Structure 1
Amino acid sequence: MVATKVRRAIESIDPNKFTMYCQFHHGFPHGACGDSSMIIGKLLLDEFEIDCDYVTGNCTIEGHESKTHVWLEYEGYKIDITADQFRDLFRITEEIVVSTNHELYKYFEVKETRKISEHFPNELRAAYILIRDLIYN
């Protein structure tokens, strides 16, 4: 599964090999949902011609600061390799979610949805190549 391969690749790479503009340089999985979703989405597009939706959402839970999150959606499935960053807040046990009905997403109000094919940031190209080459070479 591409999601698992990308997660394991990111975990295996020294964070200092990513540029300072990449969320993986600063930590993973916490705060790395946007870049993770972009990388997986680009791999799915390039390797399988699957153009996922890049979805941003936020939630406010009483007693906690507002939280934002990013994940992919395709044909009703939510794809997320950073779900475990919400382990304590929402009691999420999975690192990776590929599901049509996972409880995590009921907490988030969708703010924006766009196709991966519409935009891939130049700042992520080096990280994308590093991860892609590790997975497919």
Structure 2
Amino acid sequence: MKSLSLIVLLGPDMKKLICTDSKAFRNAMLKIAPERFSFGMLSNFPAGCCEFTSYMLAKFFIEERAISDIEMLHGVNQFKKTQRHVWLKVMGYDVDITANQFSSTNKTVFCTTNSIWHYSRFIIFESHQPNVKFDHFHEEYQEQLLSDYKMVLESLAS
């Protein structure tokens, strides 16, 4: 991974950084063999792991890029009430690296303001700042997620 330094970016430059990092993070996760993930749900990436993936991506932005303006959005599909989804809002940009788990899009990374795909399908029922220490999870899950996060960082660096 490139040397990290605090850079103040605005406008299009910030969007480019957020989008580039999101794509790289997704690609780093895809490079990891599914059976290597300690936290079992991540082995199905991108399916069924939007919440945990969003926590890890938020941790990356907060700890590696010093971006703290992050919200985690939880939505329920207004057409299929049993279907929920989680994505991030990073400095005003909707960021989602797991959306293509749904048949309604083949887009692998969303990085845009006011995503039509998200807001036309999902009704947000919760929004909060993500706990990137993962200490709100059971201790075993916390350890697994932290281990997997480190593995993603190593994958990013290779």
Aligned residues: 130
C-alpha change, 1:118 and 1:133, in structure 2 (3 Å) is closer
**What do residues 2-59 of structure 1 show as CA deviations (whole Å, max 9, x unaligned)?**
111111111111111111x34212x121112111111111000001111211111111
Question: Residues 108-119 of structure 1: matches in 2 within 5 Å?
Answer: 108-117=122-131, 119=133
- List alignment gaps of at least 5 residues for structure 2: 1-19
Q: Which amino acid aligns with 2:151?
A: L
Q: How many Å apart are 1:118 and its aligned residue? A: 6.2
Question: Residues 46-57 of structure 1: matches in 2 within 5 Å?
Answer: 46-51=63-68, 52-57=70-75
**What do residues 43-87 of structure 1 show as CA deviations (whole Å, max 9, x unaligned)?**
0000111121111111131xx46210000002321000011112x
Say whether 1:124 aligns with 2:145. Answer: yes
- Partner Cα separation in structure 2 for residue 118 and residue 40 of structure 1: 9
**SS of 2:64's equivalent?**
helix
Q: Work out which of the two has the higher radius of gyration on C-alpha atoms and give 1 or 2.
A: 2
**SS of 1:98's equivalent?**
strand
What residue is the counterpart of 1:3 in the other structure? Answer: 22
Q: Which amino acid aligns with 1:80?
A: D
- List alignment gaps of at least 5 residues for structure 1: none
Is residue 97–residue 109 contact of structure 2 (8 Å, CA) maintained in 1? Answer: yes
Which one of the candidate residues 55, 76, 79 is aligned to 2:95?
79
Moved over 3 A (4+): none
Question: Residues 1-137 of structure 1: matches in 2 within 5 Å?
Answer: 1-19=20-38, 21-25=39-43, 27-51=44-68, 52-61=70-79, 64=80, 66-86=82-102, 88=103, 90=104, 92-106=105-119, 107-117=121-131, 119-120=133-134, 121=137, 122=142, 123-136=144-157
Q: Which amino acid aligns with 2:74?
A: T
Query: RMSD in angstroms over aligned alpha carbons?
Result: 1.8
TM-score by length of 1: 0.85
Is residue 82–residue 95 contact of structure 1 (8 Å, CA) maintained in 2? Answer: yes
